[in-house]
């Protein structure tokens, strides 16, 4: 079976993995930059690029070592080349080009968003040895991360079979989590911290208005929700652990309800049974609980990838690249990095996209 080396460097994780076109993972290595960026409360692009330069070689070597394969044993090399931070992407793309040239193996560029949308097909074994379940085409996917939040209809494992149904007009969901955490002085990254504190809080003590909840559109908006929290903090700063936990619970409950409600609405509109949640925010425990309950009630089949497949990783890039490879698609060494996704966007930033 074809084996593909995947390289991911679109933001603040340097990752490499070896995966088959059937999604079986031989190796998956991720080097995180969280500690590097934490003092700044967010990703600093220049620091990210420099750290990718330091880490990419060792990470790739470790992935090959764990897989038990050499470059000569691979069938192709896949790399994230869009969208993302240009400087960060360039590191991964140049490394991939060098490896492709040296090994004479085909080079395949992968759109980061396509990687996330195909992440459920990466087969990771659970502690009991069972493989993670996979969805059936077509499915509606909610991709929610620090940089992207949108709903997609996925009819097949390639970019031309993916259509955006609605996206965010401003902040991504993960971005909103990070900004709210910063307002509350909780540190970075904010998503896991808010998730943990929300379990201790009471969401009903701080009612928040759900953004765009009454609109028929499948678009999202999170800047207003963040502003509500900012106004509450400015007016009456939470001074106790209990008050902070309550505010975290209220914010998380409001944000996750909107995400799940629109996912279910999109599935009904598209007439599909399978739904998927992917991206870093898919690691949120309340989002998972709400999605499971709502999907069961609506008669939908929900697939949420394991945590390792939700956050940025190279296994999803290797699999998406393998799908392109078996379709006969190749990219030459003129492959370029880009900050823009290949996927057509229906939603545009700002108020003009309101319907």
The per-residue pLDDT for range 245-257, each reduced to its tens digit, is: 999 999 999 999 9
Q: How far apart (Å, rounded) are the C-alpha atoms in residues 263 and 293?
A: 13
Percent above pLDDT 70 for the chain: 96
- Homologous superfamily (CATH) of 139-304 is ATPase, nucleotide binding domain (3.30.420.40)
Q: How far apart (Å, rounded) are the C-alpha atoms in residues 37 and 54?
A: 15
Residue 354 has pLDDT above 50, yes or no: no
Residue ranges of domains in the chain = 3-128+309-326, 139-304
Write down the CATH number for the domain with range 3-128+309-326: 3.30.420.40
Grade residue 216 by pLDDT with cuts at 50, 70 and 90. confident
What is the structure's pLDDT at 355? 36
What is the structure's pLDDT at 215? 62
What do you get for the CA distance between the two ends of the chain, in Å? 48
Do 139-304 and 3-128+309-326 have the same topology in CATH? yes
* Least confident stretch, 9-18, 48-57, 217-226, 292-301: 217-226
The per-residue pLDDT for range 122-171, each reduced to its tens digit, is: 998 766 667 778 999 999 999 999 999 999 999 999 999 999 999 999 99
Percent above pLDDT 90 for the chain: 88
What is the structure's pLDDT at 127? 66
pTM (2 decimals)? 0.94
What is the structure's pLDDT at 129? 67
| Mean pLDDT for all residues in the chain | 94
What is the structure's pLDDT at 131? 75
Q: How far apart (Å, rounded) are the C-alpha atoms in residues 238 and 133?
A: 42
Provide mean pLDDT across the span 92-102: 97
Residue 349 has pLDDT above 90, yes or no: no
């Amino acid at each position: 079976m074809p084996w593909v080396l995947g390289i991911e460097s679109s933001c603040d994780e340097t990752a490499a993995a070896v995966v088959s076109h059937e999604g079986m993972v031989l190796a998956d290595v991720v080097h995180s930059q969280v500690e590097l960026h934490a003092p700044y409360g967010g990703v600093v692009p220049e620091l990210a690029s420099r750290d990718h330069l330091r880490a990419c070689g060792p990470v790739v070597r470790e992935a090959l070592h764990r897989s038990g394969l050499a470059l000569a044993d691979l069938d192709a090399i896949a790399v994230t080349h869009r969208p993302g931070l240009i400087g960060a992407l360039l590191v991964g793309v140049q490394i991939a080009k060098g490896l492709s040239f040296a090994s004479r193996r085909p080079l395949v560029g992968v759109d980061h968003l396509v990687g996330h949308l195909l992440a459920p097909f990466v087969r990771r074994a659970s502690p009991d040895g069972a493989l993670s379940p996979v969805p059936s085409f077509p499915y509606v996917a909610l991709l929610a991360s620090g940089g992207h939040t949108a709903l997609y209809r996925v009819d097949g494992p390639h970019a031309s079979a993916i259509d955006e149904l609605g996206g965010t007009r401003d902040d991504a969901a993960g971005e909103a989590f990070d900004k709210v955490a910063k307002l509350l002085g909780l540190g970075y990254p904010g998503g896991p911290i808010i998730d943990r504190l929300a379990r201790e809080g009471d969401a009903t003590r701080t009612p928040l208005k759900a953004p765009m909840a009454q609109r028929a559109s499948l678009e999202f908006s999170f800047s207003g929700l963040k502003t509500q929290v900012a106004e509450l903090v400015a007016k009456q700063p939470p001074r106790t652990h209990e008050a902070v936990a309550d505010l975290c619970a209220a914010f998380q409950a409001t944000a996750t309800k909107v995400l799940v409600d629109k996912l279910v609405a999109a599935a009904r509109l598209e007439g599909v049974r399978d739904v998927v949640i992917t991206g870093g925010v898919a690691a949120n425990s309340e989002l998972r609980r709400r999605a499971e309950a709502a999907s069961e009630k609506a008669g939908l089949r929900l697939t949420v990838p394991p945590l390792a497949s939700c956050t940025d990783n190279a296994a999803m890039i290797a699999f998406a690249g393998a799908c392109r490879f078996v379709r006969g698609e190749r990219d030459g060494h003129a492959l370029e990095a880009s900050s823009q996704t290949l996927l057509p966007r229906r939603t545009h930033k700002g108020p003009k996209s309101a319907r």
